[in-house]
Structure 1
Amino acid sequence: MASTEDKATKGSLKNVSSDFLTPVHPAKRSRVSVATPARNSPATKLQIPASPFMKKLGWGTGVSVYLLERSPRPDGSGRSPWAVKKIRSKYKKGRGDVDVEGRLKKEAVILKKMSHANIVEFRALSKSADGSLCLSMENGQQSLMGMIDKRKEAGKGPFPAAQIYQVALSLASALNYLHNDLKYIHGDLKSGNVLVKGDFETVKLCDFGVALKLTDDLNGLENPTDDYVGSQPWNAMEVHMAGDITHKTDMFSYGLVIWEMMSLEAPHLDLLFSGDDSEYDDDETSFDESEFEAALGTRPPLPKENLGPAYQFLIELFCACTIEDPTQRPSAKMTLAALEDVML
């Protein structure tokens, strides 16, 4: 049964005209190939080539991500490429400030439990030629953050409403599964952890290395001493104020992903700079951390560019998810239902 706050929030989301929305539900994903190790097996002996022999796709805390082009099958048919997350040498064997190897192993355990069309698929946990632990996953082609950066550099405006809707629908479905079926929060939701194939044909959530286990009622952490990591600009007020972490903490970050696609910016980062321009310039610009830190956990303003009526539902959803009081935010389950309702 939906909670009182879910019912209240849903009322503000339903009554929106949505003729412009024509989402395509992701097809049921295919089973993993025979090259994929069994879900309960230990790290496979699959060898990952040295880094110079793979194309670099991106990076994260303590890791680099590479594209692994796999050799054809014996019958000559091709194999899909994998994305390989590899620990950087600085962070091997406990070096550095973060236990990256522990996060990678934890992510592998969580990914092997999952089976959802909007969550990246596990492929293998293995060692590279230099002994680095590597997590292999399906290749998601491109990150949403990268797409946002390219669109901004090209001088384009917000993403079309239908594309933002597709991302919102896909992520709500992934979070509903993660929260209600597996009892986890993602813990670091942002555009950089959203993968897109093609022209938004498929949208998948990735990077579960800092996910945290929830209580059965979703209103707290199973282990209250667990640390929420996240990324500062996307973290909810309860993270910054050392409040209770619940499933609604993910929903704040979810709302900011919608905002990113409308504004083509990262939340609050413009406040780090003072001067005539938000771009960094040694001569004219200086960092102003106080204003930035004061804004963390709050709702950023909508872009100055006038958004047409096609964006009205998305604006309402963004505003509902970024309420500072977590009890007033919609749950992933309610958000998914509201998104599906506007298809009618």
Structure 2
Amino acid sequence: MDTPRRKLRNLHMENVQNSSTPINVPPSPMLKTLGHGTGIRVYRLDRSPRLGEIRSPWAVKRITQNMRVKKDTLFNERIVHEADILRKLKHPNIVGFRGVVTNDEGINTLALEMCTTSLGSILEERHDEDLGPLPAKNTYKMIMDVALALDFLHNEARLMHGDLKSFNVLVKGEFEICKLCDFGVSLPLDEHGEVNFLKNPGLRYVGTSLWCAPEVIDEVDVIDSKAEIFSFGLVIYETLALVPPHTLELDAALGEDMDNSHDLPTDTEKLQRKQLDFSSDERKNGLPTAMEEHTDNDMSHDDDDEEEEEEEEDDDTKENDISDFTLNNLHSAYGTRPPLPVAFQLSDDYNCIVELFYLCTNALSEDRPAAKTIWQCLENNAANVATGSD
């Protein structure tokens, strides 16, 4: 979708940082779908002008019609949980909270700052168009912005995002700024900067297994913010490989060549395009939501939404039933450092990016840099950051 390219302004949204913000959200059929995840849909809300002032659109998030029919309250409750978290997070690299409202049926709707697209969508498009890795200058910008957001979360807000991946990194304009979104499964960090699951048996790291650190996969009793740095390293990997972590080696294991198969998608392509969450049984009730935006000029209807959701469920059932071999290969790759693709020739502009990927995905958490170390390193070496090109 096209978004006016204009200088970002401080919107001074303090006046809407509370749950009583008056929001008039039309029924879902009157809104344009931006993206969807398990049990959740994200829509575009175009707000009417006020006193001659043109107001920017918002992204609104609510549970799907299918979840309403099933009366599944988990995802509806997570919207309130996410609102409670976002209300307290004021940082330029975290998506802005605009308000939350509950209708007469008890359905919660979360209103958020609107961004142009997600990093995941950008990488998907580059993959489909064979454009090669994300330009180095854009990757450096993403790394800097996400590192700043993580530093704020880990050290000031005392939170772990809990599901860091490319589709939860929003991009405004031509990488004017990047922002983290989707805080529905965030975890509190204690005074030691850790999450102790023995002391807090009610806490669970949900995440998405493809991006999880080895200590998360191994379900250790205590993790810290460095687990999130591993996920960050895999987001950096995505900018180089243009596919989710572990799917390239899975494709090689299957002996399939993606370039020679266009009519019937390979198992790997299904994973790449749908961002399926093949989580372990212990975390299968997680929320792999996505704030990615897909251009969709058609206005939907209630019946259409239900049919579309049923079709998506059928697709997911088929794709989740790919094969035991595929799933076993995926599970064995979780929590490891994926090899970089050999198809792309990376220039010297990418040297620091590749180095950060390796550092962030060290097997031992103590060998990974803190978010603050990452952004300070980039800031100190700003003069050496390449401009890059498409």
Shorter-chain TM-score above 0.5? yes
241, 249, 270: which one aligns with 2:227: 249
Aligned to 1:210: 185
Compared CA separation, residues 333 and 128, structure 1 to 2 (3 A): same
Identify unmatched segments of 5+ residues in structure 2.
1-6, 268-321, 384-390
Hey, what does 1:21 align to over in structure 2? none
Kept in 2, the 8 Å contact 1:110–1:208? The answer is yes
Distance in structure 2 (CA, Å) of the matches to 1:281 and 1:79: 44
5+ residue gaps in structure 1?
Answer: 1-25
Q: Give runs of aligned pairs for residues 187-336 of structure 1, distance below 5 A.
A: 187-221=162-196, 224-225=200-201, 226-243=203-220, 244-273=222-251, 274-278=254-258, 287=323, 288-304=326-342, 305-336=344-375
RMSD across aligned C-alpha pairs, in angstroms? 2.4
| Matched residue, 1:61 | 38
Deviation at 1:90?
2.8
CA distance in 2, matches of 1:65, 1:237: 31
Residue 80 (1) aligns with residue 56 (2): yes
State the partner residue of 1:32.
Answer: 13
Measured in 1, the distance between the counterparts of 2:196 and 2:346 equals: 38
CA distance in 2, matches of 1:77, 1:27: 17
CA distance in 2, matches of 1:65, 1:85: 4
Partner Cα distance (1:129, 1:81) in 2: 24
Query: What TM-score comes out, normalization by structure 1 length?
Result: 0.84
Segment of structure 1 superposing worse, 120-129 or 158-167: 120-129
Paired residue type of 2:362:
I
Distance 1:79 1:283, change over 3 A: closer
1:112 lines up with 2:87 in the alignment: yes
**Deviations along 1:247-284, whole A, 9 cap, x unmatched?**
00110011111110111010112455513224697798
The residue identity in structure 1 corresponding to 2:115 is G
Percent identity between matched residues is 39
User: Structure 2 CA distance, aligned partners of 1:145 and 1:284?
Assistant: 19
Q: How many residues align?
A: 313
TM-score normalised by L of structure 2 = 0.75
**Residues 283 and 139 of structure 1: CA distance in aligned 2, closer, same or farther (over 3 Å):** closer
1:122 and 1:283, CA in 2 relative to 1: closer, same or farther beyond 3 A?
closer
Q: Deviations over 1:273-317 (max 9, x none)?
A: 513224697798764222221111001111211211110011111
Matches within 5 A, 1:127-142: 127=102, 131-142=106-117
Partner of 1:10: none
Shift of 1:219: 3.0
One-letter code of the match for 2:338? P
Q: Is the 8 A contact 1:248 1:331 kept in 2?
A: yes
Give 1:116 shift: 0.6
More relative contact order in 1 or in 2 (CA 8 Å, sep 6+)?
2
**Structure 1 equivalent of residue 377 of structure 2:** 338
Aligned to 2:96: 121
Kindly indicate whether the alpha-carbon contact (under 8 Å) linking 1:103 and 1:210 is maintained by their aligned counterparts in 2.
Answer: yes
User: 1:135 and 1:284, CA in 2 relative to 1: closer, same or farther beyond 3 A?
Assistant: closer
Task: Give, in whole Å, the separation in 2 of the partners of 1:196 and 1:170.
Answer: 10
Give how far 1:89 is off: 2.5
Deviation of 1:53 after TM superposition, in Å, equals 1.0
Other structure's SS at 1:245 match = strand
